[in-house]
Structure 1
Amino acid sequence: MSVDASLTGPRPERSTAHDVRQRLEHARSSRLTQLQALQETGQSADDHLAATQKSAIEGVLKEIESAFTRVDNGTYGICLGCRKPVPAERLEILPYTPHCVGCQGRSAVL
């Protein structure tokens, strides 16, 4: 079986601001759709699971907005903890992350 070279070939180190904005827009759109679907379920605000989900989605939306700000001010892709570049692979998976894996782990403990 052959492997598609486009899937295994070298990837660019850093994305352009346009590419980053597209990924962030997609992440924001997805979360807004999730939030709307959650609101359309008709679950009451007293429902603990629904409230927890809503809070988590709203938290990610705030992170996405912060990422747009970092793109605008030129600090996108720089870890807020150690000030080193966040690996491109991590940014592809979580385009709104403000931390490298090590600093994210340390901030979760604190």
Structure 2
Amino acid sequence: MPSDAIRTAPRLERLTAEEARRRLEHARGTRLVQLQALTDTGQSADDHLMSAQRDAIGRVLKEIDAAFARIEDGTYGTCVACAAPVPAERLEILPYTSHCVACRRGAV
């Protein structure tokens, strides 16, 4: 294999299912701590900022659950929009992402 191919080959194969699960568990734990901290503030449930934060955390928790399901069905690391591999670097930063950068940009 030429050295250029080694440097440019996707690093996806280096992110094992176990490593992905570990990253997702960490992300889930972090979000649950954040959610608990919001609850512990004693702020009114009518506080719009607190409500928006809880909703955002809830959305991320759903994305994390969906990522676990993608690991189980073998589609983790594949963009759900275009079926291209999601770069390992992106998965390292956002282990629950379901889109490659190009598709995410188009979705926003």
Smaller-chain TM-score bracket: 0.7 to 0.9
State TM-score, norm by structure 2. Answer: 0.88
In the TM superposition, structure 1's runs of 4+ consecutive aligned residues that sit over 3 Å from their partners are: none
Kindly provide the CA deviation profile for residues 21-61 of structure 1, in whole angstroms up to 9, marking residues without a partner as x. 00000000000000000000011111010000000000000
Corresponding residue for residue 76 of structure 1: 76
What is the CA distance between 1:13 and its match in structure 2?
1.2
Bigger helix fraction = 2
RMSD: 1.0
What letter is aligned with 1:90? R
Q: Secondary structure at the match of 1:79?
A: coil
Q: Do residues 46 (structure 1) and 46 (structure 2) align?
A: yes
Corresponding residue for residue 13 of structure 1: 11
Percent identity reads 62
Partners in 1 of 2:101 and 2:75 — Cα distance? Answer: 17
Corresponding residue for residue 102 of structure 1: 102
State TM-score, norm by structure 1. Answer: 0.86
What letter is aligned with 2:11? E
What letter is aligned with 2:20? V
Structure 2: which 5+ residue stretches go unaligned? 1-9
Partners in 1 of 2:94 and 2:18 — Cα distance? Answer: 16
Residues 20-59 of structure 1 aligned to structure 2 (within 5 Å):
20-59=20-59
Number of residues of Structure 1 aligned to a counterpart in Structure 2: 97
Corresponding residue for residue 3 of structure 1: none
